Every structure is written in structure tokens, then in C-alpha cells.
């Protein structure tokens, strides 16, 4: 049974006609930059995220970059974040000239450990970036308490967690800005790159709009230096077709996760832990296993797609050598990097496919290394 990590063709099969129609509408209109499709998506994602404003961006990376720029973060500043994330989180901090400061994760959720943040704060700290990894929001109350006490803005990296909740609050609605990615593998993925910032702050909304279009207002008058971070209306059109399906797709991922959990019960496989305050959208289902590489090899041989998110924590990346600050031990992040393995979790997976993947994993974990 060949099972890819993600089967986007299966998703596309159900929405092909609508996508074609929506793309054709944009092409017929020849509104090729921003315009009504981007605005409609912004309004819908803002409302989905319980936020007043949204600004469509060219990628999740550019959403983070624009957020940092909008907050005036740059040379000499520090930003506290997690080392166990996709590169973009820390990469954007470095790109604006600030220093990434890494604190460890909670081993159960893989998310930044709020108890480690305070020790990392200095007068230079200008933002905290919690990353809602794999679809589950961070423990936001203590993070917001520390941030508010120090007057430091929080940028939520919600790239993997659109519409996830923490105590009923939506991803992106708790910090100063939330950043989403529409990379095709996300729960809401475009037909290419795309992203969005959400905020409840009118001033920040204005700044994000400025950053998205070279800091110009009016056109050709530049108040500040921004970039070209505009979301493509063709992507917005595709995303508008997919958006009404998002809840059902995320629910299907949760159902698949529950089935894996059941199948792995009593085995040495450590299944994802979802806190009682959280509803995850399961962008990934990452198990932890000893001898991870052997288990992955067994799955590859059984034609099951897997991925390691992420094999090298940020503080150990070559580009950050001498260019980041580490606070305390990051052993939980390093251990996670050696043990995590993402299994197929996409909504269209069938029960027999999940049973097959679980059987291969269970067999592999029994083998001596």
C-alpha cells in the first residue's frame, strides 16, 4: 500500500471545478495585484481568527518578516523564541538584524516552555515569538503574562495552526500580531506560496500595510523601507475555495490522529500530547520513537511517506553559530530532533491506510536497533 506523507491530488479532486472557475475569474478580471479576492480572503481570515484586521502576504516567512519590521525590530534588538521550529521563525529575526535568543521547549507539546522565557529577557528584548507547532497552540496565558509585564509584544507564529484554539481563543488573536502560512502542505494551503498577518491593533494594521508595499503611502512616497510582500490574487482565489472546507479538513485530521492514538496505545510509540486547553488542527502528527531512523527506514521500505520536523534545532544551525544566544539547556529540543517522526495525517486518509502505517511502525519499534 503506497501512502504519501500528503496527498494534495486527493484534496484537489474534490474541488477542481471550483478552483478552475475561481482562477479563471481572476484571469478574466486581469486584476493581478491585490484587489477584491485578496480583500475577501483577508476579511474571512480575520473573522475566522477573531481578529479585526488581516493583511495578505506573499508567504508565511514574509508575514513574519513584515510583522518584525512593522514593530520596528532591528539592529541591536533581541527576540526570544524556540529553537524547535521551521527555519523561517529565527531566520526572519536575523534578517531584520536582530539576535535570535533561544529557550527550550516542553518535551510533551514541542512548544516553547513558558517557564524558560523570563530568564531570557533583557532590556534589548523587543519581541517574543511563540510557535504553535504541528497545529497546537502554545501555553499562551503565561507567555502573555510575562510579555505584558515587560511591555514586550508577542508575535504568534501560527504558520501551522490557523484556527487552532487555546482556552477557546483563536491562534493569532492573543499576541500583537499572528502570522499564518498558506504553503501547500498547511491545513489551508494555496497553489503556491502565500501567507497572512492578523491583528487587533489598528496602528499595527497600518504598519503592516505599509511594509507590504515598500513603505509607500501614498504611492511613490516612502515613509519607511518595506518590501514587496503582497499576496497574489490567484492564490487568494484558490484559498477562498478551500476556506469553507478548513474546519472539516481539520476535524478529519483530528479523527485520524485519534485512530492512530488508539492503535499505538500500549506500544512504545509516544503519540502527540494535546493539552486540555487546546484544540489542535494536526497540521502534523509527530510521534516520538527510539531508533527513529530505523523506524523511518522501515516505513520507507513499506512505501509510507514520512518526514522529520525538524532534524536540527536552530541553535545548532551553521548560519547561527556565534549569531544567536542560548538561554539554559536546550536538551529537550535536541532530544526531540533525534526522536520525532511525522506520519501521514491528511484528511483523505482511509482507515485501512492508517491501520497499515500503524502496523508498520509497531512492528519496526519491536526490532532491535
Ligand X SMILES: Cc1ncc(COP(=O)(O)O)c(C=O)c1O
Q: Footprint of ligand X on this chain (CB under 6 A)?
A: 59-61, 85-86, 88-89, 131, 157, 159-160, 181, 183, 193, 195
88 or 197: CB nearest ligand X: 88
**What are the Cα distances from residue 210, in Å, to 181, 215, 219?**
20, 4, 10
Q: Which DSSP letter does residue 198 get?
A: E
State how far the Cα of 342 lies from the Cα of 94, in Å rounded to an integer.
28
d(CA 194, CA 58): 5
Compute CA 75 distance to the chain's CA centroid, rounded to the nearest angstrom.
26
Please say which residue, 125 or 136, places its beta carbon nearer to ligand X: 136
For the bound state, the minimum distance from the C-beta of residue 59 to ligand X, rounded and expressed in Å, comes to 3
Q: How far is the CB of 332 from ligand X (least distance, A)?
A: 17
Q: Which residue is nearest to ligand X (CB)?
A: 60
Nearest approach in angstroms of CB 184 to ligand X is: 9
Which C-beta is closer to ligand X: that of 59 or that of 332?
A: 59
- How many other CB atoms are found less than 10 A from the CB of residue 24? 11
Cβ-contact 146, 168 below 8 angstroms? no
Q: Report the alpha-carbon distance of residue 295 to residue 234 in Å, rounded.
A: 40
CB atoms within 10 A of CB 148: 11
The least distance separating ligand X from the CB of residue 218, rounded to whole angstroms, comes to: 29
Minimum distance from CB of 188 to ligand X (Å)? 11
SS3 content of the chain, % helix, strand, coil (to 5): 45, 15, 40
Nearer to ligand X (CB atom), residue 182 or residue 249: 182
Measured from the CB atom, the residue of 190 and 358 that comes closer to ligand X is 190
Q: Where are the alpha helices (DSSP H) in 232-273?
A: 233-242, 246-264
- Minimum CB separation of residue 290 from ligand X in Å reads 26
Q: What 8-state DSSP symbol labels residue 161?
A: -
Output 131 or 299, the one with its CB closest to ligand X.
131
Distance CA 212, CA 216 (A): 9
CB of 186 to ligand X, least distance (A): 7
Q: How far is the CB of 364 from ligand X (least distance, A)?
A: 27
Cell numbers at residue 107, please? 518535551
Residue burial 252-282, b: 16+ Cβ < 10 Å; e: rest: bbbebbeebbebbeeeebbbbebbeebbbbb
Nearer to ligand X, 183 or 264 (CB): 183
Nearer to ligand X, 298 or 336 (CB): 336
Amino acid at each position: 500500500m503506497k501512502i504519501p506523507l500528503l496527498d494534495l491530488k486527493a484534496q484537489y479532486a474534490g474541488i477542481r471545478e471550483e478552483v478552475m472557475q475561481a482562477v479563471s475569474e481572476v484571469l478574466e478580471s486581469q486584476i493581478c495585484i491585490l484587489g477584491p479576492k485578496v480583500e475577501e480572503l483577508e476579511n474571512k481570515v480575520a473573522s475566522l481568527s477573531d481578529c479585526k484586521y488581516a493583511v495578505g502576504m506573499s508567504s508565511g516567512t514574509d508575514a513574519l518578516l513584515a510583522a518584525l519590521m512593522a514593530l520596528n525590530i532591528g539592529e541591536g534588538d533581541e527576540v526570544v523564541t524556540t529553537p524547535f521550529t521551521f527555519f523561517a521563525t529565527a531566520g526572519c529575526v536575523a534578517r531584520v538584524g536582530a539576535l535570535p535568543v533561544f529557550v527550550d521547549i516542553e518535551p510533551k507539546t514541542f512548544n516553547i516552555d513558558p517557564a524558560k522565557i523570563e530568564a531570557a529577557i533583557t532590556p534589548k528584548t523587543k519581541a517574543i515569538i511563540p510557535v504553535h507547532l504541528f497545529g497546537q497552540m502554545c501555553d499562551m496565558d503565561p507567555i502573555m503574562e510575562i510579555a505584558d509585564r515587560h511591555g514586550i509584544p508577542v508575535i504568534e507564529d501560527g504558520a501551522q495552526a490557523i484556527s487552532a484554539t487555546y482556552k477557546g481563543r483563536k491562534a493569532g488573536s492573543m499576541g500583537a500580531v499572528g502570522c499564518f502560512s498558506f504553503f501547500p502542505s498547511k491545513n489551508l494551503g494555496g497553489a503556491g506560496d502565500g501567507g497572512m498577518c492578523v491583528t487587533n491593533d489598528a496602528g499595527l494594521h497600518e504598519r503592516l500595510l505599509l511594509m507590504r508595499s515598500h513603505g509607500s503611502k501614498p504611492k511613490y512616497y516612502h515613509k519607511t523601507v518595506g518590501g514587496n510582500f503582497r499576496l497574489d490574487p490567484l492564490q487568494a482565489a484558490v484559498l477562498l475555495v478551500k476556506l469553507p472546507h478548513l474546519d472539516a479538513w481539520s476535524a478529519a485530521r483530528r479523527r485520524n490522529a485519534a485512530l492512530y492514538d488508539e492503535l499505538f496505545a500500549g506500544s512504545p510509540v509516544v503519540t502527540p500530547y494535546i493539552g486540555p486547553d487546546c484544540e489542535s488542527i494536526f497540521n502534523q502528527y509527530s510521534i516520538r520513537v527510539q531508533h527513529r531512523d530505523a523506524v523511518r527506514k522501515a516505513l520507507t521500505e513499506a512505501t509510507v511517506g514520512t518526514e522529520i520536523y525538524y532534524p536540527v534545532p536552530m541553535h545548532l544551525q551553521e548560519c547561527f553559530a556565534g549569531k544567536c544566544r542560548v538561554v539554559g539547556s536546550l536538551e529537550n529540543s535536541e532530544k526531540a530532533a533525534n526522536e520525532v517522526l511525522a506520519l501521514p495525517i491528511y484528511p483523505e486518509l482511509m482507515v485501512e491506510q492508517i491501520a497499515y502505517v500503524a502496523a508498520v511502525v509497531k512492528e519496526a519499534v519491536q526490532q532491535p536497533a
